[in-house]
C-alpha cells in the first residue's frame, strides 16, 4: 500500500492517478499571498469582463458554452454592451484613448451677463425656426392684434381633438395643425371650439377667449349651424322637412330628448345611378355634427358624407381643405356682440354702435 501513497514532501496531481507526482510548492506567508492574489485579480478583472460578455453574446448563437449557470444566465439576458466593452478595452490599454470633450458655450458664459442673454435669445430663435417653443412678446406688448377666431377647414379622417385618446394608430389629431400653422396664426395661444368626429369635415373654430367659447357652446344662445350632407336614396323634400321639424327622439330609455332641425334645400348628385340615387341636402340645426348625423339617419337616409359650412355668422366660404384663415371683421363683431366682450376686443372700425 505504501507504493501507491505519495512520498513525503510530494503531493499527487490527481487523487485517482498515482503515476505523476508534482512537488509541493513552498507555503508563502499570509501577507505576501494575499497581496499577490489581489494583484492577479486586478489584472485579470477586465479580461474576465470581456470574456463574460463575449460568452454571453456567443452563447445565444450556440458557438460557446458557459459552464457557470449564473454567468451564462446574466450574459444571455444582457448580451454585449458596445459602450461598456469599449470603455473596458480603453481602461486596459486597448484602442485609442477618449478625446477630451470641450466645454460648451453655456459652461464658459457667466450667469446674468450680456453674453448669457444673447445665448438664450439665439437658442430660442433657432427653436422657433424649427417649429419649437420660442420667445414671443406678450399680447399687450404686441404691435399687431391677434384675431379672436381662426377658421380651419378640417379634412375627413383627422381627429377633431387635441389629445389622441383611444384612437387607432396612424390617426392624427389637431396637434399637427398647431405645429404646421407656425407663427402665421400662433395656434398655440388658441384652443379648438368643441370637437368634431373623424368621419366629418368642415368648419372648425379656434378661439383665444374662453368667454367667447363658452357662449358659442351655450345652448341658450341658440347658435345655428349649417351642414351639407350627401345621403343615399331618393329624398322627398317636404316629407323630410316635416320629419326634421317635428323632431327625432334620442337618448336612453327614460331620458329621451327631442332633437329638431330644418331642411333648407335639396339637390340630386349629378352622375348618380338609378340603382343607387344620391342627394345633397342642406340642414340647419342647433346641435353638433354627431347629433345631426343621427337626426338624418333617423329620418330614413344613410349619411355618406357630412360637412359643416357655417356657425352663426361665421362661414367656410372658399377656404380650401386643410387651410386656415382669420375671421373677418364682420364675423368678429358678431362674436363680440354674442359674448358681450369689452370694446378692447372689437376689431378696429367695428365698435358696437350702441
pLDDT at 234 over 80: yes
More confident residue, 173 or 223: 223
Q: Residue ranges per domain, the chain?
A: 29-92, 146-216+331-345, 224-311
**3-class state of residue 306 by DSSP:** strand
pLDDT-derived band of residue 344, with 50, 70 and 90 as boundaries?
confident
- What per-residue confidence (pLDDT) applies to 295? 92
pLDDT-derived band of residue 342, with 50, 70 and 90 as boundaries?
confident
Flag the least confident range among 53-62, 78-87, 107-116, 281-290. Answer: 53-62
Give dist(CA 49, CA 92) in Å, integer.
Answer: 11
Domain 146-216+331-345 has what CATH class?
Answer: alpha beta
pLDDT-derived band of residue 61, with 50, 70 and 90 as boundaries?
very low
pLDDT tens per residue, range 72-99: 555 544 567 777 888 888 888 787 777 7
pLDDT at 67 over 60: no
pLDDT tens per residue, range 301-340: 999 999 999 999 999 988 999 999 999 999 999 999 999 8
- What per-residue confidence (pLDDT) applies to 150? 94
- What per-residue confidence (pLDDT) applies to 215? 93
**3-class state of residue 181 by DSSP:** helix
Predicted TM-score (pTM) of this structure: 0.59
- What per-residue confidence (pLDDT) applies to 353? 44
Most confidently modeled of 19-33, 89-103, 269-283? 269-283
Quick one: cell of 252?
336612453
State the architecture of 224-311 in CATH terms.
2-Layer Sandwich (3.30)
Q: What angle do CA 313, 314, 319 make, to 5 degrees?
A: 145
Give dist(CA 322, CA 327) in Å, integer.
Answer: 16
Same fold, 146-216+331-345 and 224-311: yes
Residue with cell 463574460: 52
Amino acid at each position: 500500500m505504501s507504493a501507491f501513497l505519495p512520498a513525503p514532501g510530494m503531493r499527487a496531481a490527481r487523487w485517482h492517478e498515482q503515476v505523476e507526482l508534482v512537488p509541493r510548492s513552498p507555503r508563502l506567508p499570509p501577507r505576501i499571498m494575499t497581496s499577490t492574489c489581489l494583484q492577479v485579480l486586478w489584472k485579470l478583472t477586465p479580461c474576465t469582463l470581456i470574456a463574460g460578455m463575449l460568452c454571453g453574446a456567443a452563447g445565444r448563437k450556440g458557438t460557446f458554452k458557459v459552464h457557470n449557470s449564473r454567468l451564462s444566465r446574466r450574459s444571455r439576458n444582457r448580451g454585449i454592451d458596445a459602450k461598456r466593452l469599449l470603455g473596458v478595452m480603453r481602461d486596459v490599454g486597448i484602442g485609442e484613448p477618449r478625446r477630451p470633450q470641450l466645454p460648451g458655450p453655456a459652461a464658459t458664459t457667466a450667469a446674468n451677463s450680456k453674453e448669457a442673454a444673447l445665448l438664450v435669445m439665439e437658442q430660442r430663435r433657432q427653436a422657433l425656426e424649427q417649429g419649437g417653443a420660442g420667445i414671443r412678446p406678450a399680447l399687450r406688448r404686441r404691435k399687431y392684434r391677434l384675431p379672436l377666431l381662426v377658421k380651419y377647414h378640417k379634412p375627413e379622417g383627422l381627429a377633431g381633438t387635441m389629445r389622441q385618446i383611444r384612437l387607432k394608430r396612424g390617426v392624427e389629431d389637431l396637434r399637427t395643425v398647431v405645429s404646421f400653422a407656425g407663427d402665421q396664426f400662433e395656434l398655440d395661444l388658441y384652443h379648438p371650439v368643441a370637437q368634431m368626429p373623424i368621419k366629418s369635415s368642415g368648419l372648425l373654430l379656434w378661439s383665444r377667449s374662453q368667454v367667447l367659447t363658452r357662449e358659442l357652446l351655450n345652448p341658450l344662445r341658440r347658435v345655428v349651424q349649417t351642414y351639407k350632407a350627401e345621403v343615399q336614396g331618393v329624398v322627398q323634400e317636404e316629407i323630410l322637412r316635416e320629419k326634421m321639424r317635428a323632431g327625432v327622439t334620442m337618448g336612453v330609455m327614460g331620458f329621451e330628448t327631442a332633437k329638431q332641425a330644418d331642411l333648407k334645400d335639396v339637390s340630386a348628385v349629378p352622375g348618380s345611378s338609378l340603382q343607387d340615387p344620391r342627394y345633397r341636402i342642406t340642414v340647419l340645426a342647433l346641435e353638433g355634427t354627431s347629433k345631426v348625423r343621427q337626426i338624418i339617419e333617423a329620418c330614413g337616409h344613410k349619411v355618406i358624407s357630412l360637412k359643416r359650412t357655417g356657425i352663426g355668422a361665421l362661414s367656410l366660404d372658399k377656404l380650401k381643405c386643410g387651410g386656415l384663415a382669420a375671421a373677418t371683421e364682420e364675423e368678429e363683431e358678431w362674436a363680440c356682440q354674442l359674448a358681450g366682450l369689452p370694446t378692447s376686443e372689437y376689431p378696429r372700425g367695428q365698435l358696437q354702435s350702441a
